[in-house]
């Protein structure tokens, strides 16, 4: 496939310094001015100041310069002009207004998680000592920004732009919910388009090593701010990922996730979700219930609408 990876996400918020400090406390390093990441992937989350919270841009990787030419041609056929540089292309999303950069690049190699000693039925891996998760010597950090979810006023047009213009692939659709799960890598989804009354970000998502990593870091957030939990923990049906959705100090929802479906072969991927007993609106195969309705629409959607209007959108 032409697109190979999701590289980074730029968020515009009212107080970027506050959000930067929040992510520093969760284990993301400041690797440059307003830029957060890890030694493996120094550029993951970029923060900048704006009057209202929105996605400013995101970057995806492609393999070859010829991929950029193909994408540029496809966008032109949709009536969208892009800017083509030596090793990258940039284009403005016609509905949201954010910039998408397609770069000839390779994502930083991620080392697999260090194996942890877990006990289980017939499995004694950790004798005479406590779990590192129980005594908090396990200090997991987010490994990468994996996806972003957008609420569109015209989901069909948005899907057309990302699939037929930029070359994202469709992993799953939930027609009853108007939801389309798109990928630019092996991840089941790097981008999910949902319907919304105002173009907005629903959430951004960071991959963690395992369920303990989600629990520990998620609880840190709740410990700082007891009303930060939105939904979770649980396991999604579509994408299979284990999740916990929480609010960051800018009011944006983010997800800690792990164990997402990986698609390496379209022919082998079961996109039909063949489960007779499955309600297409089922979000999770197990979950702890919603504590906030922000999961479907940000509670400050009126402020986002006003901010967009003031910015000329």
> Closer to Fe ion at the Cβ: 103 or 169?
169
Q: Is 258 helix (H, G, I), strand (E, B) or coil?
A: strand
- Alpha-carbon distance of 288 to 303, in angstroms, equals 29
- Shortest distance (Å) from residue 306 CB to Fe ion: 26
DSSP state of 246: E
Q: Which is nearer to Fe ion, 153 or 240 (CB)?
A: 240
CB 20 to Fe ion: min, Å: 22
What 8-state DSSP symbol labels residue 71? H
Among 38-46, 59-67, 198-206, 280-288, the segment contacting Fe ion (CB under 5 A): 198-206
User: Radius of gyration over alpha carbons of the chain, in Å?
Assistant: 19
Instruction: Note whether 207 binds Fe ion by CB under 5 A.
Output: no
Which of 255, 259, 261, 294 lies at the binding interface for Fe ion (CB under 5 A)?
A: 255
Residue 187 contacts by C-beta under 8 Å, 6 or more apart in sequence?
6, 146, 147, 260, 262, 263
Chain position carrying tokens 């907005």: 200
Tell me the site size for Fe ion, rule CB under 5 A.
2
Report the nearest approach of Fe ion to the CB of residue 85 (Å).
31
* Alpha-carbon gap, residue 34 to 16, rounded angstroms: 8
205 is an interface residue for Fe ion by CB under 5 A: yes
Three-state secondary structure along 75-91? HHHCCCCCEECCCEEEE
d(CA 159, CA 168): 9
Note whether 214 binds Fe ion by CB under 5 A. Answer: no
Q: Closer to Fe ion by CB, 26 or 103: give it.
A: 26
Q: How far is CA 239 from the centre of its chain?
A: 12
Q: How far is the CB of 251 from Fe ion (least distance, A)?
A: 17
Contacts of 11 (CB under 8 A, 6+ apart): 19, 45, 46, 47, 48, 53, 54, 55, 56, 201, 204, 250, 252
Using CB under 5 A, which of the segments 131-139, 197-205, 215-223, 275-283 binds Fe ion? 197-205
Taking the complex as a whole, how short is the minimal distance between the CB of residue 147 and Fe ion, in angstroms? 6
Q: Nearer Cβ to Fe ion, position 164 or 281?
A: 281
Q: Which of residues 261-300 bind Fe ion (CB under 5 A)?
A: none
Q: For Fe ion, which is the closer residue by CB, 196 or 205?
A: 205
Q: Which of 5/255 has CB closer to Fe ion?
A: 255
Site string (157-196) toward Fe ion, x via CB under 5 A: ----------------------------------------
Q: For Fe ion, which stretch binds (CB under 5 A), given 30-38, 41-49, 199-207, 246-254?
A: 199-207
Give dist(CA 88, CA 233) in Å, integer.
Answer: 38
Residues that bind Fe ion (CB under 5 A): 205, 255
């Amino acid at each position: 496939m032409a697109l190979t990876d999701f590289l980074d996400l730029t968020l515009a918020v009212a107080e970027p310094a506050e959000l930067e400090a929040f992510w520093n406390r969760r284990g993301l390093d400041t690797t440059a001015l307003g830029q957060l990441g890890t030694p493996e992937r120094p550029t993951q989350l970029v923060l900048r100041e704006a009057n209202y919270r929105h996605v400013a841009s995101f970057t995806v990787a492609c393999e070859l310069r010829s991929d950029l030419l193909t994408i540029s041609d496809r966008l032109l056929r949709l009536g969208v002009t892009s800017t083509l540089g030596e090793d990258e292309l940039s284009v403005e999303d016609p509905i949201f207004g954010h910039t998408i950069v397609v770069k000839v690049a390779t994502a930083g190699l991620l080392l697999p998680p260090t194996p942890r000693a877990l006990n289980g039925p017939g499995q004694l891996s950790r004798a005479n000592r406590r779990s590192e998760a129980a005594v908090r010597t396990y200090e997991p950090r987010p490994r990468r920004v994996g996806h972003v979810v957008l609420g569109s006023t015209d989901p069909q047009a948005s899907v057309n732009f990302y699939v037929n213009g930029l070359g994202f692939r469709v992993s799953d659709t939930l027609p009853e919910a108007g939801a389309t799960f798109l990928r630019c890598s092996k991840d089941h989804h790097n981008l999910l388009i949902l319907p919304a009354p105002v173009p907005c970000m629903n959430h951004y998502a960071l991959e963690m090593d395992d369920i303990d990593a989600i629990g520990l870091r998620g609880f840190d957030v709740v410990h700082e701010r007891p009303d930060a939990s939105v939904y979770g923990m649980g396991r999604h049906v579509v994408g299979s990922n284990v999740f916990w959705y929480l609010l960051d100090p800018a009011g944006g929802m983010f997800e800690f996730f792990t164990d997402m479906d990986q698609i390496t072969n379209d022919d082998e991927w079961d996109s039909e979700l063949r489960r007779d007993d499955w309600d297409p609106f089922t979000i999770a195969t197990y979950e702890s219930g919603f504590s906030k309705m922000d999961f479907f629409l940000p509670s400050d959607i009126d402020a986002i609408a006003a901010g967009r209007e003031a910015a000329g959108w």
